[in-house]
């Protein structure tokens, strides 16, 4: 893997990890009843994941335009980080919605 591709893989791992952490923090805030803060963290996680998506899309575009992209273990690892961050974002959205509904039901009772 050349230096440019190595740098992209490490960047993707780092950015996806940041998004995943933001999603986890959002769920923790929702558990504490801080729904608005949780939603802001989720918004930040989505924005961060979009940065990771741009790296991934750029990589695919390069390959479709004829660039040789070495399929290395690090490339696969970076894609795993991206996918797990994406899944965590989806789960966090559901968890926050559930906590919001629980909070609403408790208020009504």
Q: What's the per-residue H, E or C state across the chain?
A: CCHHHHHHHHHHHHHHHHHHHHHHHHHHHHHCCCHHHHHHHHHHHHHHHHHHHHHHHHHHHHHHCCCCCCCCHHHHHHHHHHHHHHHHHHHHHHHHHHHHHHHHHHHHC
pTM: 0.90
**Catalytic positions, written as ranges:** 77
Task: Determine whether the annotation assigns residue 18 to a binding site.
Answer: no
Task: For 4-60, write each residue's pLDDT tens digit.
Answer: 899 999 999 999 999 999 999 999 999 999 999 999 999 999 999 999 999 999 999
CATH T-level fold of 3-108: Methane Monooxygenase Hydroxylase; Chain G, domain 1 (1.20.58)
């Amino acid at each position: 893997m050349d230096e440019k591709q190595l740098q992209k893989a490490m960047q993707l791992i780092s950015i996806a990890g940041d998004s995943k952490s933001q999603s986890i923090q959002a769920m923790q805030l929702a558990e504490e009843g801080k729904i608005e803060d949780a939603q802001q963290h989720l918004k930040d996680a989505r924005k961060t994941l979009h940065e990771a998506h741009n790296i991934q899309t750029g990589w695919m575009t390069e390959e479709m335009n004829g660039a040789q992209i070495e399929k290395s273990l690090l490339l696969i690892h970076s894609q795993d980080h991206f996918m797990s961050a994406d899944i965590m974002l989806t789960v966090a959205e559901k968890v926050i919605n559930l906590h919001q509904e629980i909070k609403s039901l408790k208020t009504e009772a």
